[in-house]
Amino acid sequence: MIADNPWVDGLARMGIIAVAIPLAVIVLTYVERKVLGRLQMRLGPMRVGPYGTLQSVADTIKLLTKEDLRPQTADRWTFELAPFVVVMPVFLAFVTLPFTADLFVRNLELGLFFIVAVSGVSIVGFVMAGWGSDNKYALLGGARAAAQLISYEIPLVMAVLAVAMFGQSLNLVELVEGQGRVPFVVWQPLAFLIFLVAGLAELYRQPFDIPVAESEVVGGPLVEYSGIRWSMFQMAEVANMVLISVLASLLFLGGWNWPLGEEVGAGLQVVLIFVKTSMFILVFMWLRGTLPRLRIDQMMAFCWQVLLPFAFLQIIINGWVLVYGWPDWVLGVLSGMAALAAGYLTYRMAWRAAEPVLPRLHRVGSVP
């Protein structure tokens, strides 16, 4: 407890979150540029401050002072409200996200449900931005965003649900406390993989950056935004990345609990969760530097044909094992086998997409 009065306490904690998220975004933007630079054999930002550390501060100042343009034909309120609709759910989700056993704003009994519920709202923001901008690239991007984010929301929720079934709770603190000796990733590898892939798609980062595809729709819904509103989209993206990473380390890697246990002090717990979260964030950046973009239909096919059936399979396995009260290792083995099968299917899908096709006479060659 920070203060005795629950209202003051809550407000103080919310204040911390409200300051910490933009700070994390500023730091992560710098880290991302450095990591990508490293992957691409260049230095990244080097000019502003030592090793370019002040670059993102300078960028922030630039973005805040830049003119906030709105196209004359844009749908005014839709256009101007869209960034808020995108960014607010992320902040809301952070309200119930525990970083350590005591570091959270409010630990809700239905915390997991709350996070899943509010983060779904941000899709509306993208559609609003795509429609309100009155720009065809934005429209295409908005439609893509709607399709992609809604589709991948489902396997994501299913994976989270599988963990909730196994952990017998929707309370994130309780879920983490259940992972004192063995993290859930051992028992639920399939759910872990699905969560990571679907989370990556929710973040619309490579290889799933289809809604904002730079070389196709030039930023998609973000194309007409500038200054503060654009930076809100950017903040939502990076904060979302933190959210997914923290969630992954809480749900699957034992959060602050594993492998050190509950007894260690809060400081060490923070370090532990920081390391786990950073690992996921770095993996996301690494993927960004090395993977090209999928096509929207390939990606949707992957979601509906591989991820979703396997997410259901995980839930069926969980239900089966839990109802009959079989030991946990059965769950781990079954889920692991299913994960291997999912990996194999994905691999086969990629190669089936690449099966040799016979050259054909082109249909337009014959159209007058």
Q: Is 136 in the site for another protein (CB under 8 A)?
A: yes
CB of 5 to another protein, least distance (A): 48
Q: Is 229 in the site for another protein (CB under 8 A)?
A: no
327's enclosing H/E stretch is none
Q: Which is nearer to another protein, 11 or 345 (CB)?
A: 345
C-alpha to C-alpha distance for 110 and 227, rounded to whole angstroms: 36
Tell which positions 345-364 bind another protein, by CB under 8 A: 347, 349-351, 353-364
Site string for another protein, 307-346 (x = CB under 8 A): ----------------------------------------
CB of 42 to another protein, least distance (A): 6
CB of 45 to another protein, least distance (A): 14
Q: Is 73 in the site for another protein (CB under 8 A)?
A: no
Contact 223, 181 (CB under 8 A): no
Site string for another protein, 1-40 (x = CB under 8 A): -----------------------------------x--xx
C-alpha to C-alpha distance for 278 and 28, rounded to whole angstroms: 10
CB of 58 to another protein, least distance (A): 21
User: H-type helices in the chain, by residue range?
Assistant: 6-39, 55-65, 76-95, 111-119, 122-132, 136-167, 172-177, 184-187, 189-202, 214-217, 227-251, 266-290, 296-302, 308-324, 328-353, 363-366
C-alpha to C-alpha distance for 346 and 130, rounded to whole angstroms: 31
**Residues touching another protein: how many (CB under 8 A)?**
51
CB of 195 to another protein, least distance (A): 21
Query: Which of the stretches 153-161, 283-291, 308-316, 333-341 binds another protein when contact is defined by CB under 8 A?
Result: 283-291
C-alpha to C-alpha distance for 93 and 243, rounded to whole angstroms: 8
Residue 319: Cβ within 10 Å count: 12
User: H-type helices in 203-226, by residue range?
Assistant: 214-217
CB of 291 to another protein, least distance (A): 6
CB of 151 to another protein, least distance (A): 14
Residue matched to tokens 């630039």:
62
Q: Is 297 in the site for another protein (CB under 8 A)?
A: yes
C-alpha to C-alpha distance for 268 and 247, rounded to whole angstroms: 19
Contact 172, 250 (CB under 8 A): yes
Q: Applying CB under 8 A, which of residues 201, 296, 334, 338 lies at the interface with another protein?
A: 296
Q: Is 143 in the site for another protein (CB under 8 A)?
A: yes
Q: Applying CB under 8 A, which of residues 4, 42, 323, 324 lies at the interface with another protein?
A: 42
Q: Which is nearer to another protein, 163 or 209 (CB)?
A: 209
Q: Give 53: exposed, middle or buried? Use CB within 10 Å, 0-12, 13-18, 19+.
A: middle
C-alpha to C-alpha distance for 207 and 210, rounded to whole angstroms: 8
Residue matched to tokens 């899943």:
116
Q: What is the CA radius of gyration of the chain?
A: 22
CB of 345 to another protein, least distance (A): 13
CB of 41 to another protein, least distance (A): 6
Tell which positions 197-226 bind another protein, by CB under 8 A: 206-207, 209-210, 213-218
**Which residues bind to another protein, rule: CB under 8 A?**
36, 39-42, 136-137, 139-140, 143-144, 206-207, 209-210, 213-218, 288-298, 347, 349-351, 353-365, 367-368
